Amino acid sequence: MRGTDRTRSVAGQLARLGFDDLTRVRSLLEDPALDPLRDEAGELAPGLLAALGETADPDLALLGLVRLLEALAGTHAPDDADLDAFVAELASDGAGRARVLAVLGASSALVDHLVRHPDHWTCAARAEPQPGQRVRAELVGAVTDRGKHTPYDALRIAYRCGLLRIAALDLTAPDPLTAMPATGEALAELAEAALEAALAIAREEHGPGHEVCRLAVIGMGKTGGGELNYVSDVDVIFVAEPADGADEGEALRVGTHLATGLMRACSTPTQEGSLWPVDAALRPEGKNGPLVRTVASHRAYYERWAKTWEFQALLKAWVSAGDLDLGRRYKAEISPMVWEAAGRENFVGDVQAMRRRVEQHVPAAEASRQLKLGPGGLRDVEFSVQLLQLVHGRTDPSLRSTTTLEALGALARGGYVGRDDAAALDRDYRHLRCLEHRIQLYRLRRTHLMPESAADLRRLGRAMGHRREPATAVVADRAAISREVRRIHERLFYRPLLAAAARLTPDEVGLSPEAARARLSALGFRDPAGAMRHIEALTAGVSRRAAIQRTLLPVMLGWFADEADPDAGLLSFRRVSDELGTTHWYLKMLRDEGRAAEQLAHVLASSRLAADLLIGSPESVRVLGEPDGLTPRSREAVTARMRAAVARRDSPDDAMPAVRAIRRHELLRIVFADLTGRLDVVDVGAALSDLAAATIEVTLAVATAAVAERDGPVDADLLVVGMGSLGGGELGYSSDADVMYVLDPHPGADEAVVTTRATAVVKEMARLLSAAGPEPALTLDADLRPEGKNGPLVRSIESYRSYYERWALTWEFQALLRAAPIAGPEALAAQFRRLIEPLRWPEHGLDAKQVRDIRTLKARMEAERLPRGADPSTHVKLGRGGLTDVEWTLQLAQLCHAHDHPELRVTGTLRGLRALETCGLVPPADAESLRESWLLANRLRNAGMLWRGRPVDSIPSDLRDADGVARIIGLEPGSGAQLSEVWRRVARRARHAMDANFYQ
Amino acid sequence: MNRQEEFVLRTIEERDIRFVRLWFTDVLGTLKSVAVAPAELEGAFAEGIGFDGSAIEGLMRVYEADMLAKPDPTTFQILPWRGESPGTARMFCDLLMPDGTPSVADPRHVLRRALGRAADLGFTFYTHPEIEFFLLEQQRGPRGRPVPVDDAGYFDHVPHGTGHDFRRAAITMLESMGISVEFSHHEGAPGQNEIDLRYADALSTADNIMTFRTVIKEVALTQGIYATFMPKPFSEHPGSGMHTHLSLFEGDSNAFYEPGAPYQLSKTGRQFIAGLLRHGAEIAAVTNQWVNSYKRLWGGGEAPAHLTWGHNNRSALVRVPMHKPSKGQSTRIEVRSLDSACNPYLAYAVLLGAGLKGIEEGYDLPPESEDDVWSLTDAERRAMGIKPLPASLGRALEVMEESELVAELLGEHVFDFFLRNKRQEWRDYRHEISRFELDRYLTRL
């Protein structure tokens, strides 16, 4: 019993100390290897267990300790001097013990190294910060005076000793975040020392004659930046020059040989492992370029051909090893060019492409665990800081540091970035880097992923100083930081622009107007001066409005910059804000309603139509803040609202603006929903058709009342029949509403009078809907009626009947295929449907002549209808394989077969095509081609209207327009030039299907 | 690449080059040239030279802005026939849109895209053309017929060394332009010559063919004769083909080679051939793009008019030549339908595309045909499942129009333009009253 109690209490003690796998720990504690650390009573040295508990992973540290002791005992050094010294160190509570245990508890890879080289425990125990010079001398010394080891092994062993030193200091630092920059710098210096030593090996390998070449190694990337990771590729560039009197060709040959030797000395695996790959791919011409070049050759390359990203890489260039004088000459010649990069022609486009690339290359499965890539990752911070250095370092030499954190500090001191933002970002960056360091340290693997297993997370959490629930805490920390870093563009790029515009705190250094403009144009604004004016106007003053805009705008500027037309987005936003600035809900909505501001920014910078609509009725922006604001309203709901608006007003001329304002409001809702990806083209068609029908229905009532008041009662029922895409329920943003009107005089009415008044009603309707005013017009087009433009506007059922029986041409029956009554009494609608049924779905289909007529008419239209100058291969409506081709193919089949196949009796093109396929009248592949073209054509027309605010029926011939349209239909930014190929491919297939099914 | 640009600029300085011709090729395979002064070249390398594409066949504007011609420095050559000093040089260009994306109308881009697709599958594509052409007197003979330079049969003709001089001059000039050649006088017809270009990647070969045609015509002019690459100038003699040996490499190893397989031909090789045969009719309008091309194809002899393959079968569309068993790297196949007047960029793009399709879809190779296809009867050919190539340009266009593969390979723009242009050519041809009709009908009917 006593034994059990004791067991439990020991277990409790161990658990409290932080040990995890208690059974295993207990058996380890009894390991004889620990004997030297026990006193006569068999108790471990005082405080040792607690000291183990201080480490990131006490289990790991204990196991490491056992293994190290075994190894020390096995070395048979004279009198076990090593073992004794080690035991003495471990028995006493001091910094030495803490350092050794910290390493053992954080890195299984370093434990492995220690087991192989037990005497290296002193590297950790006696670790002190060392100047780079001394590290360099030590490593070079180790490979020259190397005893029994091969040069490669000697280099690796000495390097790991250095690594032990750095890790020991890093892991025992009171605050790892404070220590982070020093650790990164020490690692970079160690890498540089290794490069120097490797160069010494390469020289030795080359043997006599290497003197003809002066070789400098320029550190790039994190090495050059003095902010290296524990495990990373080391990026370098080699510079060679002939020694005095030597031949250049010979020197370059030797230089190449030395450089290759150096790279091999670092990366070749031996029994002691390898250091890291040396990557020289940042050199001019990348992997295809010569490995070494002279200073002049480097210079010539960068003068002529370098890309923006190469200059960005050169920001980090640092003379790392070899001939330091030569390296300094290289720096002096090349660096000035880096600072001119922002003035190069393609700078803006390059930067945007680079930014997209930074954000893209993350495998989706890893995105949530990535510390380095993706939005809110380390790369994002580094990239953003570098970009600002390039933009502003041109005029301000104080920004030209190679180190991320130093540069960030300099940006803050110069006023290019807010002080608080810089401080927060500095802290976040250190934190992410620390996580990365500790993750890498465990196995000395190059990884930037948060671990997944509980044990790994626990170790990581403890290494970051968490003692309670370390696994949960470290994940939560990281998530919070990433969330903050994700706002980096706002903080670094945009917020300072506001400070520049407002000049709020005169005592703090701010962005100068020139610097602000340089930055705006780097971010993609084409008119930076204009943009600055808008920012000023939006944020000037001390009003609540200005205060809220100041917090909003930095984020919104970023969203504008993501779209095709940032300038237009900002301008529209200013105009909307000028209108609504004082309304309380507007600012509140933008500030509080989650995504409202983001959606507004994206919509305004990608759509002229949205901007135009919104400028007229800014209050409609409200829909963005409403919970279901972006769901199109049903026809009934819209009708009811319009009716209510009419009821509140006395005269038609008062009522109609209200009806049209409601229409615009609903139109905007559809536009917003469309642009934010909530609706597909079919939904948009249905929503627009419902909206048009509701508007027409209400307007019909208003117009009838108006005529009745003016001329006397309209003693008849009036029916509005939707034709074309309205009848099909497939209206686009730029479509007119095709209609016909049916009149049914009440019994006993005077037909002539009724007809006159009904005609007046119809004309009044058209006037009311298209009268000039702030609201967008809805154009009613009645040209499809019998006798076209020359026929009477309204006819009775009987009149339609006699016309269709006697005079009508086949195309008029074809037009009836899409007829659908949309407003007026249902009884009359049913009558009209009965009338046209045998006409549009004739019992025996069409006779040969009728078919020929339709085909001939179509063929003639192809030759004649296309507007002057339009290209049939890019006109999405009338061109080859366009809308007309698809619709006529369907309609001919409907005329011929709808009587036998009731599924074909639909007014919508898409449903008709589906029916055509299921009835087996068109092969599935052809039906698919037709459908694809119809969908794409409608998407393109809608996108064109959204982008330009004007109808677009062809693929835009201006590249910017094509890009704007392409983005709206979901292509990558910059694919404007592809748009015509995309359309032509789809249209060609549709044309094939049309040829096979319409003309044959 | 950029070292190349450096080299070009240096050479221009050193060799006193006063003009640089920027060459590109229109959709029909005609060479176009814009001359620029060396001072403009640096800008041309960086951004390209703007020009109005609408004036050039197949380059009609897709977008409003001008196109850009961007010289490819790896193609820099001094033009030997323009004199030593001050000299003239040329470079081939890629055509770009104003935003820097490749122009869809550029045949060179069409080939680059096809090569890119091959590279995605891990292949590089090598070609080795044997180009035939006729050397003719500048004066035409009776009834406007062309007169070969070395037809000893012509009574008045004093035999002179035209052929020899021509060959020496042409070889010198070609080699000075870095195109090494093997020359052979073709016995097939009077005045006919054949020149083989060395194995190279398809893009270089296509550039070389364009250069070659120009050089041959230039040299002929200096000799007072002229050269024609017309596929079939004489009905009684064989036409001018451009048999091309094709091979795919995967890294350093020949993907067509498999020791021990029949003809050492790997599965990849067999599938590639199967692709060429299955899609041969669809791509015919590109590989044989003129009305006259079909007179060569259907002129009998060694011209391949049927979609067959064979080992050393000179009537087959695809021939698998003999080679020493030890030379695995030289396994290749020979496509015999191409004629010397094709657009080499487009032709190689569609051949490669058809072959890759065979590999991607794993086509089975039909049995080899050992007979001379011409000697078979129609019924025999039907029984053996041997299909013909289109009999005319008109027919070839009809087949091509249905081809998703060709549309994809050429891109929609080039596909569309090509069809329209060639349909017009076919209409113009049908409009013409031929000598055949006059001879046969005029007096008799």
Q: Using alpha carbons, select from A213, A226, A294 the residue that is nearest to residue A261.
A: A213
Inter-residue contact B189 to B239 (CB < 8 Å): no
At A272-284, the pLDDT tens digits run 888 999 999 999 8
Contact: B413, A981; criterion CB under 8 Å:
yes
Whether A960 contacts B99, CB under 8 Å: no
Look up residue A492 and give its DSSP letter.
I
Nearest CA in chain A to B10: A300
pLDDT digits (tens, 9 = 90+) for A550-609: 778 887 888 888 888 999 999 999 988 888 877 878 888 887 776 788 889 999 999 999
Of B63, B413, B415, the CB nearest to A959: B63
In angstroms, the Cα distances linking B47 to B41, B50, B88, B99, B356 are 10, 9, 22, 10, 34
Q: Which domain holds residue A949?
A: 848-997
Contact (CB, 8 A) for A960 and A564: yes
Distance of CA B137 to the CA centre of its chain: 24
The string of DSSP codes covering A348-400 is HHHHHHHHHHHHH-S-GGGGGGBSSSSTTSHHHHHHHHHHHHHHHHTT-GGG-
The C-alpha of B413 sits at a distance from chain A's nearest C-alpha, in angstroms, of 7
- Supply B227's token pair: 């050269």
pLDDT at A507: 47
Domain boundaries, chain B: 2-98, 114-440
Instruction: List, for residues A133-163, the tens digit of each pLDDT value.
Output: 999 999 999 999 988 899 999 999 999 999 9
Distance between CA atoms of residues A38 and B250, nearest Å: 65
Tell whether A299 is within 8 A of chain B (Cβ).
no
Helix segments in B151-290, DSSP class H: 162-176, 202-222, 267-278, 280-287
Distance CA B362, CA A835 (A): 59
Burial of A772 (0-12, 13-18, 19+ CB in 10 A): exposed
Contacts of B101 in chain A (CB under 8 A): 974, 977-978
A354 found inside a domain: yes
Please state, for a pLDDT cut of 70, what percent of chain A lies above it: 95
Q: Which pLDDT value is given to residue B163?
A: 62
- CA of residue B64 relative to chain centroid, distance: 31
Give the pLDDT confidence score for residue B81 in this predicted structure: 74
A823 bridge partner residues: A720
Nearest to B62 among A284, A980, A989 (CB): A980
Contact A37, A44 (CB under 8 A): yes
Taking a C-beta distance cutoff of 8 angstroms, is the pair B107, B207 a contact? no
Beta strands in A264-336 (DSSP E): 278-279, 292-293, 318-322
Identify the residue whose tokens are 């009728």: A850
Nearest to A351 by CA among A304, A391, A402, A411: A391
- Which of these three, A474, A498, A522, is where a domain ends? A498
Q: What is the pLDDT of residues A43-83, one digit of tens each?
A: 888 889 899 999 999 999 999 999 999 988 886 555 566 78
CB-defined contacts A:B, below 8 A? 68
Say if residues A746 and A846 touch (Cβ distance below 8 Å): no
* Res. A345: pLDDT tops 80: no
Contact: B412, A284; criterion CB under 8 Å: no
Number of domains in chain A: 2
Q: Which of A498, A531, A555 delimits the end of a domain?
A: A498
State how far the Cα of B40 lies from the Cα of B43, in Å rounded to an integer. Answer: 6
- Alpha-carbon distance A484 to A96, whole Å? 38
Whether the Cβ atoms of residue A411 and residue A433 lie closer than 8 Å to each other:
no
Answer whether the bond into residue B86 is a cis peptide, omega within 30°: yes
Give chain A positions within 8 Å (CB) of B53: none
SS3 B77: strand
Q: Is the fold of B2-98 the same as that of B114-440?
A: no
Tell which of A988, A989, A991, A995 to mutate to test the B interface (max B CBs under 10 Å): A988
End-to-end CA gap in chain B:
67
Average pLDDT, stretch A766-776?
Answer: 86
Q: Do A959 and B65 touch (CB under 8 A)?
A: yes
Question: In this structure, what token pair is assigned to residue A155?
Answer: 């280099």
Are A958 and B63 within 8 A, CB to CB?
A: yes
Q: Do A304 and B5 touch (CB under 8 A)?
A: yes
* Mean pLDDT of the region A257-262: 94
Q: What is the pLDDT along chain B (445 residues), one digit of tens a residue?
A: 467 788 888 888 888 888 899 999 988 899 988 888 888 888 888 888 888 777 666 665 555 557 888 999 989 988 887 666 678 889 999 988 877 788 888 999 999 999 999 999 999 999 999 999 999 988 888 877 888 887 643 333 444 556 667 888 888 888 888 888 877 766 678 888 888 888 889 999 999 999 999 999 988 988 888 999 999 999 888 899 999 999 999 888 899 988 888 888 899 999 999 999 999 999 999 999 999 999 999 987 778 889 999 987 888 999 998 766 566 678 889 999 999 999 999 999 999 999 999 999 999 999 998 877 878 888 888 888 889 999 999 999 999 999 999 999 999 989 998 999 999 999 999 999 998 899 899 998 8
Q: Which of B2, B42, B412 sits opposite A301 (nearest CB)?
A: B2
Q: d(Cα A157, Cα B395) in Å, to the nearest integer?
A: 76
Give, to the nearest 10 degrees, the angle between helix A513-522 and helix A528-539.
110
pLDDT tens-digit profile of A949-961? 999 999 998 888 9
Alpha-helix residue ranges (DSSP H) falling in A467-565 = 470-485, 488, 495-502, 513-522, 528-539, 544-562
Longest dimension (CA), chain B: 71
Closest B-chain CA to A960: B99
**pLDDT tens-digit readout, A391-407:** 888 888 899 999 999 99
Q: Which of A473, A498, A523 is the last residue of a domain?
A: A498
Residues of B in contact with A974 (CB under 8 A): 99, 101
Q: Residue A5: pLDDT band by 50, 70, 90 thresholds?
A: low
Q: Which CATH class is domain B114-440?
A: alpha beta
- The reply to whether CATH 3.40.50.300 applies to domain B2-98 is no
Nearest residue of A to residue B41 by CA position? A304
Question: Could you tell me the CATH number of the domain that includes residue A404?
Answer: 1.20.120.330
In tens, the pLDDT along A431-442 reads 999 999 999 999
Tell whether A127 is covered by a domain. Answer: no
Tell me how far apart the alpha carbons of residues A264 and A276 are, in angstroms, rounded to a whole number.
10
Write b or e for each residue in B278-306: b if 16 or more Cβ atoms lie within 10 A of its Cβ, otherwise e.
bbbbbbbbbbbbbbbbbbbbebeebbbbb
Residue A150 touches chain B, beta carbons under 8 Å? no
Q: Which residues pair with B241 in a beta bridge?
A: B339
Q: Look at A380 and A500; give whichever has higher pLDDT.
A: A380
- Summarised one tens digit per residue, pLDDT across range A862-888 is 888 888 778 888 999 999 999 999 999
Question: Which residues lie below 8 Å from residue A223, measured CB to CB, with a gap of 6+?
Answer: A188, A191, A192, A232, A234, A235, A236, A318, A320
First to last CA, chain A: 99
Q: Which residues of B touch A (CB under 8 A)?
A: 1-3, 5-6, 42, 45-47, 61-65, 97-99, 101, 104, 402, 404, 407, 411-413, 415-416
Query: Nearest 10 degrees: CA dihedral of B371, B374, B378, B382?
Result: 40
Disruptive mutation site among B403, B412, B421 for chain A (greatest number of A CBs within 10 Å): B412
Q: Per the domain annotation, does A961 fall within a domain?
A: yes
CA distances from B429 to B285, B393, B406, B425, B434 (A): 15, 10, 24, 6, 9
Q: Are A505 and A569 in contact (CB under 8 A)?
A: no
pLDDT for the residue numbered A3: 45
The tokens for B111 are 């080939």
Contacts of A874 in chain B (CB under 8 A): 62
Backbone angles phi and psi of B265, in degrees to 5: -95, 120
Hey, are the CB atoms on B65 and A980 less than 8 Å from each other?
A: no
Residues B67, B45 contacting (CB under 8 angstroms): no
Distances (CA, A) of A159 to A108, A131, A908, B114: 17, 15, 75, 49
Residue A364: band (very low, low, confident or very high) from pLDDT cuts 50, 70, 90: low
Give the CA dihedral A499, A505, A508, A510, nearest 10 degrees: 20
pLDDT at A1: 41
- Site from B99, B401, B414 to mutate, A interface, most A CB atoms within 10 angstroms: B99
Residue A933 resides in a domain: yes
Instruction: Tell whether A451 is covered by a domain.
Output: yes
The C-alpha atoms of residue B197 and residue B127 are separated, in whole angstroms, by 9
Residue pair B95/B106 in contact (Cβ under 8 Å)? The answer is: yes
Alpha-carbon span A471 to A145, nearest angstrom: 46
The gap from C-alpha A177 to its chain's centroid, in whole angstroms, comes to: 30
The tokens describing A335, both together, are 């660096």
In a domain, A414, yes or no: yes
Sort out which chain A residues have CB atoms less than 8 A from B98's CB and list them: 959
Q: Is A981 helix (H, G, I), strand (E, B) or coil?
A: helix
- Chain A environment of B5 (Cβ under 8 Å): 304-305
A287–B contact, CB cutoff 8 A: no
- The answer to whether the CB atoms of B412 and A988 lie below 8 A apart is yes
Look over chain B and give the mean of its residue pLDDT values, rounded to a whole number.
86
Residue A245, pLDDT > 90, answer no
* Lookup: tokens for B200: 């190279």
Contact, A987 vs A932, CB < 8 A? no
Would you give the distance in Å from CA A418 to the centre of its chain?
25
Q: What are phi and psi of B124, to 5 degrees?
A: -115, 150
Q: pLDDT tens-digit profile of A777-802?
A: 899 999 989 888 888 999 999 999 99
Distance CA A403, CA A394 (A): 17
pTM above 0.90, yes or no: no
Answer whether residue A660 is part of any domain: no
Helix (H, G, I), strand (E, B) or coil at A231: coil
